[in-house]
Structure 1
Amino acid sequence: MKKEVKTTLTQNIFRILLALFMIYAGFSHLTFNRIDFQTQVPDWVPLSKDLVVILSGIVEMILGLTLLFWKNQRARIGWALAIFFILIFPGNVAQYLDGKDAFGALNSDRARLIRLFFQPVLIAWALWSSGAWQSWRNSKK
């Protein structure tokens, strides 16, 4: 049985913030930002853009809720969230390359380019705040 990774108060605060952000983002996929999120779905994806937005919103809400409440699986959920951020990155790149505006603030190539640099931050945030990175390092000892 794996030993539970202990996280600091700071990590827990940031984990809760990330979980709430994911729940909010997922909800926004299904409601008021649904059309804007469709602009991020690359044209080469062989599914309806609306279906992709709905499914990704549901996944975001599930990841957020599990990160918030499923204590004994936090490290695995952190990895799952990091992988999710990697999987959606091509959509952000496509939005930049295609010059598609969204959310009011993503209305220039500069804004869309700057946004791309936040994806590694989200990945690191998920791995650090969940204890996933620490758990992986401990497993190598």
Structure 2
Amino acid sequence: MSTSSRVGAVLRTVARVVLGLALIGAGTAHLTVARVAFRAQVPSWFPADADLVVLVSGVVEIVLGLALLVLARRRVVVGLVVAAFFVVIFPGNIAQFVEQRPAFGLGTDRERGVRLLYQPVLVAWALWSTGAWGPLVAWFRRRRPG
């Protein structure tokens, strides 16, 4: 393995660990200090109790964060699941913007709009840091006709 390959592998590992710790922290905040703030991201049209959604998503984030930390041999699958989770929760971020709900210091439409740009970054982070980007691209290429 070349030096640049080793450096890339170390960077991906560090990024995966940081993402895992961030998910554990966010999940813990869902269950404790930011529980009310996270309710602002539950769309008003969602057919479930907002507090229950916050609690369940918090537990899911903790589990995903732990999986990023301890399931290194399954990191590609975990990366795909984490990326899918970020896609699934994106409507909550959109709802916070559309419904103009202030939370997390996001008091203006501009601030909430800028925050929407971070979700694709999280998806890419999950895919890149776990090595899932390559297999995902290869899968899409195989499915493309011609």
User: What TM-score do you get using the length of structure 1 for normalisation?
Assistant: 0.90
Tell me what 1:107 maps to.
Answer: 107
Tell me what 1:117 maps to.
Answer: 117
Tell me what 1:36 maps to.
Answer: 37
Tell me what 2:3 maps to.
Answer: none
AA partner of residue 79 (structure 1) = L
Tell me what 1:46 maps to.
Answer: 47
After superposition, what is the alpha-carbon deviation per residue over 1:60-104, rounded to whole angstroms, capped at 9, x for unaligned?
Answer: 00000001111111100100011000000001001001110002x
Distance 1:76 1:131 in 2: 9
Distance 2:47 2:136 in 1: 35
Structure 1 segment 1-141 matched on structure 2, within 5 A: 8-103=9-104, 105-137=105-137
AA partner of residue 46 (structure 1) = P
AA partner of residue 41 (structure 1) = V
AA partner of residue 59 (structure 1) = V
Distance 2:52 2:10 in 1: 38
AA partner of residue 13 (structure 1) = V
Distance 1:91 1:137 in 2: 27
AA partner of residue 100 (structure 2) = G
Distance 1:27 1:9 in 2: 27
- Computed over aligned residues only, the root mean square deviation of the Cα atoms, in angstroms, reads 1.7
Identity of aligned residues (%): 46
Aligned length: 135
Distance 1:125 1:39 in 2: 25
Shift of residue 135, structure 1, vs aligned partner: 3.3
Distance 1:86 1:136 in 2: 15
Aligned CA distance change for structure 1 residues 81 and 106 (closer, same or farther; 3 Å):
same
State the secondary structure of the residue aligned to 2:41. Answer: coil
Distance 1:96 1:138 in 2: 34
AA partner of residue 11 (structure 1) = R
More helix by share: 2
Q: Could you tell me which runs of 5 or more consecutive residues in structure 1 were left unpaired when the two chains were aligned.
A: 1-5
Shift of residue 138, structure 1, vs aligned partner: 6.2
